[in-house]
Chains A and B, each alone.
Chain A
Amino acid sequence: MSGAPPSSVRKGSAWAIWLPLALFVVFVVLVTVGLLRPADRNVASTLIDRPLPSFNLPSPLPGGAGLKSADLSGGRPRLLNIFASWCVPCRVEAPQLAQLAKAGVTIDGISVRDRPDALQAFLAENGNPYSRIGADNAGSVQLALGSSGVPETYVIDGKGRVRYQHIGEIRPEHVALLLGKLEAAK
């Protein structure tokens, strides 16, 4: 070991010692700003309080009714759920959707990039809370809604305007929140 006496303590470059910390602080501030910015964008979705884009989707299942944007302005608030049989979180949220349906909420579904047989199996397994289902095979309606993934749920008011967007699966703790948003949309 260097048992050197601290006789020649460096003094001249005292400020230089703090330079790395200063640079690091600049870095942290910069990335914090960067991290917060996209989060701000999430809240300010421009679709909120605007009418839905118009669409007319066929039914994914033989004999179903399909889903038009006009169906959604039926005077009462309702939920629009974007889902797919291949999506794991959609299975996670199925019990909550069933609970909401039982509470008297009308739920319409848009199934994204799905196959009829897989969808049939999914509904048989997880229950079918939907009053209507539209098949969005190209994902174009999903994109028009400003949804980047599955699942996503929208609260639509009686005039067919988007009032609230829920990203990700509906967990048990979100049910009350959604019911509240539906109430507010009346």
Chain B
Amino acid sequence: MATVHSPRIKAKHQRLVLLVIALAVVLLAGLLAAWALRSQASYFYVPSEIVAKPPEADRFVRLGGMVEKGSLKTAPDGVTIRFVVGDGKSRVPVSFSGIVPSLFVEGSGVVAEGRMQPGGTFKADNLLAKHDENYVPREMQNMTQAQARKVVAETQ
């Protein structure tokens, strides 16, 4: 609007200040996001990868694979479980304390979130087993040669 040109406001100047602030914020957001993503994104590994090239200690990663049959043991405290996740090439021992997702069984797929310990054990903070019997985690598709799910077999 060209109707009001109050000299007190110095419109152009003020507009510029706002624009500069906005640009600075957006730029800051972009830089920060880029930096944080590089340092905070957690990578997905399959057992053979994590054995060949372990992540830095204390880095939060995801480990996906199949729970080996006969490997599942419960510790004496009753709430810690240990099992082995394998992908046919390598095997990684995993420990987890907590309520196990109901679809977590030996021989099924699992994605464990947690950190690699110095001794070569993976300490999981969280186990993801999708609550859907047709589910194969997307990250594991390469490994199991599992295919995209069918249009018709969906259960939501």
Q: Do chains A and B touch in the complex (CB under 8 A)?
A: yes
Binding site for B on A (CB under 8 A): 2, 4-5, 7-8, 13, 38-39, 41-42, 45-47, 87-89, 92, 113, 138, 140, 143, 146-152, 165, 167-169
- Using a CB–CB distance below 8 Å, which chain B residues touch chain A? 1-3, 19, 66, 107, 133-134, 136, 138, 141-142, 144-153
Majority secondary structure, B binding face: loop
Query: Is A41 a contact of B107 with CB atoms below 8 Å?
Result: no
A2 near B107 with CB under 8 A, answer no
The SS class assigned to the A binding surface is loop
For A92, list chain B residues within 8 Å (CB): 152
Contact A146 B146 (CB under 8 A): yes
Q: Please state if B146 and A148 are interface contacts (CB–CB under 8 Å).
A: yes
Q: Are B148 and A38 in contact (CB under 8 A)?
A: yes
Residue from A5, A38, A138, A147 within 8 A of B138 (CB atoms):
A38
A39 CB contacts on chain B under 8 angstroms? 148
Known A-B contacts A4-B1, A140-B107; A88 and B152 likewise in contact (beta carbons under 8 Å): yes
Q: Which of B142, B146, B151: most chain A Cβ within 10 A? A: B146
Cα separation A5 to B142 with both chains bound (whole Å): 61
Q: Is the CB of A45 within 8 A of B145?
A: yes
Contact for A167 among B133, B142, B147, CB less than 8 A: B147
By the criterion CB–CB under 8 Å, are A89 and B153 in contact? yes
**Cβ–Cβ contact A149 & B2, under 8 A:** no
Contact, CB under 8 Å: B149 / A38:
no
User: Could you give 17 example pairs across A and B, Cβ below 8 Å?
Assistant: A4-B3, A39-B148, A41-B147, A42-B148, A87-B153, A140-B107, A143-B107, A143-B146, A146-B144, A148-B136, A148-B144, A149-B134, A149-B149, A150-B134, A152-B150, A165-B147, A168-B151
